Amino acid sequence: MANRGKDFLRRVVEEDLKSGKYSKIVTRFPPEPNGFPHIGHAKSISINFGIAKEYGGECNLRMDDTNPTTENIEFVEALKDAVEWLGFKWSGDVRYTSDYFPQLYNYAIKLIQMGKAYVDSISEEEIREYRGTVTTAGRRSIYAERSVEENLDLFNRMRNGEFKEGEHVLRAKIDMSSPNMKMRDPLLYRIKRATHFRAGDKWAIYPMYDFAHPLSDYIEGVTHSICTLEFENNRDIYNWLIETLELEPPRPYQYEFARLNINYTVMSKRKILELIEKNVVSGWDDPRLPTIAGLRRRGYTPEAILSFCEQIGVAKANSIVDIAQLEFAIRDDLNPKVPRVMSVFKPLKVTIENYSGFEEINASYYPHDVPKEGSRKLPFSKEIYIEQEDFMENPPKGYYRLTPNQPVRLKYAYIISCEKVIKDESGNIVEIRARYYPNSKSGSDSSGIKVKSAIQWVEANSAKKIEVRLYDRLFKTEIPEGIEDINPNSLKIIENALIEPAVIEDKTNNRFQFERHGYFYRESGERAVFNRIVPLKDSWSKKLQRGRRERVKERRQVEGRVIPMTPEEKILFERYTKEHNLNREVANTLARDNRLSQFYREALQEFNSPIAIANIITNEVARELKVKNLDELKFSPKDIADLVKMLEDETISTKIAKGVFEEMSRSGKEPIRIVEERGLQQINDKSLILSVVKEVIHRNPENLKKFKDGNRRLQGFFIGEVLKATNGKANPKIVNELVIRELNR
Ligand code: ATP
Ligand code: MG
């Protein structure tokens, strides 16, 4: 069947179009303008606008403005903004339920005339009491016996403002013993003496949701009225109204889907408003909030939010989605798109004593596996800053960065070694005096010096100061009860971080990956302030496969609630996030899985590179462990550590690493042996790669011509061919650089 795999809403829509029930689909997004929209609304927006778009229909944006005391124009603007920012267009003008007040009033008159509605005059309390309970029937108030004339007269006077609030209400006359409590003579109108932000003081009565909503749908010619599950029982009123009023077809039908809930946050305008009023957050667009405005200011893209909505799908059962899924979506979106740059959050000065002068190093903005153009100049001089944690005087075993006895590569630049450690009176390291190796420059290294890693740095005089804002989850508990569950560390500010100058001078990008630190977004305004959108994650597993795997995992999470951690797991989780700097998603996976956790700790003993090792374990090893026991694995934690070592010192590329992993898990051979026997070492020799590049270009004259004629995408083709010709061994960064150079000759 063509319908298979579609969600239930789309199946309904397809069926209705096929059967000719409607010739065109009309949906609507009907928010109440009493707050800023949140990511739950994004889900509703993506469903309503998405379905209309897919099936050639239309979607209205309707402000459900029936409560004058909580609504205002600022919220209307925020709602319009959110829909547009997500990339949707509403049909015609924005609509307002308040514009239908006269029509709605007439429908009410008609119901009264039909004997189907009456003015009730008992108190709110009595109304509740008379309604009965789920197990006992309710009873009607004596006012239900009023004549049509009396009802018409009272209702008219209610409208004219002759009564006080609560004195009378208009109710539908349905069934006080209905098993559906909602059908026990629901309220249709109430008296409210307040100035409406659009209708002014014209009305002293306002329609209730249950009355206004179905009829507004009908007035607009809506076909599918999609709402969240809590309105399931209201559907009977919806149908009763449309049927009782004998409205001309076509008529709308209501369908319900599960509301979006996410852990570690709150998702209701009322609760968000409380956070604002209590100054827990700075406003509706605080980057820690799940509001669209907050996510946007944090640096989320509409693409990521929509892809998140698509991944969680449309379900009939309520569940809590793990916030890690949202974080996955933004990483997945930004990873291939944004430039990668160097920054230093906790600077340690390094003076390179044997370097004089100044140079600018051309460095690619994009990682080697992203066939995207763009580079920037990195200034370099004898004074630079590195991250404090990238130097250790007394390193533990397996520390691969700079030490008094261990040289390190400055990424994209030279290898340096430490000559002298300068300390202040209290013994803090304040400066490193270093030496560089002139023939060790990245890309043309003939120094023969072996280093175990490359670290980031910025040049001291050209580096720019920025403020960095590191956000964490707003609540410390998965299902927050209230303000007492707020995470006190949800915002950490680093006032004087350093960034390479290109980031400030770059006028086309405002999102960057700060290597090792995460994805960042520049706040608008004069001051250079960067919000961390999300920390980094996995850097080596093949993207596509990872995507698929995550999605499978995520679907499973959606089905059930997130299980809280045991105290032991919490301790591990804390340690992994705080001490090992693992991101929460990875730490969460490790902490909750005994076998993975054990494997991880053993690998760490061999080689102290927590992030890289944890990533491989939570992805590749975890996959193996789905079908095997620990003792059935053919590789050891040490093998994983060795593999990571080779990756980090660039002996092999990520692509090759993947293959090596597969072979070692199949054959049980040590990774170092696999690499040596099969000659998988990465080719870094520029002239060798250049000859392959020239050869590939020479063999593909037609594609070269198309490229020259403007099909820039073919650059990816050439890069792919060169990689293929070297069995994936050529250093992709160099391939990228040379292909671009040669193609543009
Ligand atoms: P809140 O509780 O945050 O105030 P609401 O349901 O009162 O939300 P409305 O402005 O009335 O918000 O909702 C507009 C539309 O968005 C409705 O169709 C509603 O069902 C939908 N919606 C609101 N919250 C969610 C959510 N968490 N998940 C999916 N849809 C939602
Ligand atoms: Mg509401």
Residue 469 has a pLDDT of 97
Looking at ligand 1, which atom is closest to the CA of residue 38? 3
| CA dist list (Å): 325 to 254, 333, 617 | 29, 12, 19
Q: What whole-number distance in Å separates Cα of residue 404 and Cα of residue 413?
A: 20
32 Cα: distance to centroid of ligand 2 (angstroms): 6
Task: Give yes or no for a contact between 318 and 562, defined as CB atoms under 8 angstroms apart.
Answer: no
Per-residue pLDDT band for 506 (boundaries 50, 70, 90) equals: confident
Give the Å distance between the CA of 80 and the centre of ligand 1. 15
Kindly indicate the confidence band of residue 537, based on its pLDDT and cuts at 50, 70 and 90.
low
Task: Calculate the alpha carbon distances from 159 to 104, 156, 706 in Å.
Answer: 12, 5, 72
Question: What is the token pair recorded at 145?
Answer: 């016996």
d(Cα 364, Cα 381) in Å, to the nearest integer? 19
| Residue 38 pLDDT exceeds 60 | yes
Stronger pLDDT, 151 or 658, i.e. the higher one: 151
Average pLDDT over the chain, rounded to an integer? 91
Nearest to 640 by CA among 592, 678, 600, 675: 600
Determine the pLDDT at residue 562: 61
Q: Give me the half-sphere count of Cα atoms (radius 13 Å) on the Cβ side of residue 178.
A: 17
- Does residue 726 have a pLDDT over 90? no
Average the pLDDT over 13-29 and give the result: 97
Q: How far is CA 275 from CA 108, 278, 288, 473, 475, in A?
A: 39, 5, 11, 14, 11
Confidence at residue 86, expressed as pLDDT on a 0 to 100 scale? 98
Laid out side by side, the sheet with 205-207 consists of 117-120, 169-172, 187-191, 205-207
List the single range of 149-153, 339-343, 454-458, 473-477 with lowest mean pLDDT. 473-477
Secondary element (H or E) of residue 211: helix 209-219
> Tokens 């691969």 — which residue?
400
User: From atom 2 of ligand 1, which residue's Cα is the shortest distance away?
Assistant: 268
- 655 confidence band (pLDDT: 50, 70, 90): confident
Of ligand 1's listed atoms, the one at least distance from the Cα of 35 is 4
- pLDDT at 307 > cutoff 70: yes
Residue with the larger pLDDT of the pair 254 and 579: 254
Confidence of residue 23 (pLDDT cuts 50, 70, 90): very high
pLDDT in tens, 39-72: 999 999 999 999 999 999 999 999 999 999 999 9
Tokens for 530, please give them: 């960067």
Is residue 219 pLDDT above 70, yes or no? Answer: yes
Average pLDDT over residues 285-310: 97
The whole-number pLDDT of residue 607 equals 87
pLDDT tens, 79-90?
A: 999 999 999 999
The pLDDT score that the predictor gives to residue 549 is 42
Q: Once rounded to an integer, what is the mean pLDDT over residues 537-557? A: 37
d(CA 573, CA 580): 10
Q: Is the pLDDT of residue 588 over 80?
A: yes
Assign 161 to helix, strand or coil. coil
Pocket test for ligand 1, best of 9, 41, 273 (most atoms within 8 A of CB): 41
Q: What is the pLDDT of residues 517-527, one digit of tens each?
A: 999 999 988 89
Q: Is the pLDDT of residue 129 over 60?
A: yes
Q: Which DSSP state fits 484?
A: G
pLDDT-derived band at 668 (thresholds 50, 70, 90) equals confident
**In the beta sheet, which residues pair with residue 465?**
498
pLDDT band of residue 109 (cuts 50, 70, 90) is very high
Return the percentage of the chain with pLDDT > 70, whole number: 95
**Token pair in block for residue 497:** 């971080």
Closest ligand 1 atom number to CA of residue 44: 30
Alpha helices in 335-403 (DSSP H): none
Catalytic residues: 32, 259, 269
Residues with CB under 6 A from ligand 1: 30-32, 40-41, 43-44, 64, 227-228, 259-260, 267-270
- Closest Cα to atom 26 of ligand 1: 40
Pocket test for ligand 1, best of 61, 90, 228 (most atoms within 8 A of CB): 228
pLDDT of amino acid 557: 36
- Mean pLDDT score, 270-296: 97
Domains and CATH numbers, the chain: 3-97+211-262 (3.40.50.620), 100-209 (3.90.800.10), 340-463 (2.40.240.10), 552-677 (no CATH), 686-743 (1.10.10.410)
Q: Considering only residues 508 and 555, tell me which one the structure prediction assigns the higher pLDDT.
A: 508
Task: Give the orientation angle of helix 584-592 with respect to helix 594-606, to 10 degrees.
Answer: 110
176 CB neighbour count, 10 Å cutoff = 17
| φ, ψ of residue 528 in degrees (nearest 5) | -85, 95
More confident residue, 676 or 543: 676
- For the stretch 426-472, pLDDT in tens is 999 999 999 999 999 998 999 999 999 999 999 999 999 999 999 99
Q: Is the peptide bond before 250 cis (omega within 30 degrees of 0)?
A: yes
What pLDDT was estimated at residue 553?
42
Report the run of H or E that residue 178 belongs to, with start and end: none
Residue whose pair of structure tokens reads 């996976």 in the numeric block: 589
Nearest CA to ligand 1 atom 22: 41
- Among residues 389, 380, 642, the alpha carbon closest in space to that of 517 is found at 389
pLDDT of residue 560: 37
Q: How confident is the model at residue 369 (pLDDT cuts 50, 70, 90)?
A: low
- Report which protein residue has its CA nearest ligand 1's atom 25: 40
Q: Which of 177-181, 351-355, 663-667 has the highest mean pLDDT?
A: 351-355
Q: Whose CA is nearest to atom 3 of ligand 1?
A: 268
Dist. CA 288–CA 307, nearest whole Å: 20
Instruction: Answer whether residue 544 shows pLDDT above 70.
Output: no
Residue 480's alpha-carbon distances to 323, 569, 577, 620, 720, in angstroms, are 13, 19, 21, 33, 49
Which whole number is the average pLDDT over 203-224?
A: 98
Q: Determine which of 189-193, 400-404, 450-454, 533-537 has the lowest per-residue pLDDT on average.
A: 533-537
Q: Which of 207, 167, 185, 217 is nearest to 68 (CA)?
A: 207
d(CA 19, CA 257): 23
Pair 29, 61: CB distance under 8 Å: yes
- Cα dihedral 213, 216, 220, 222 in deg (nearest 10): 20
Q: What is the pLDDT of residue 623?
A: 85
**CA gap 658, 652 in Å, rounded:** 10
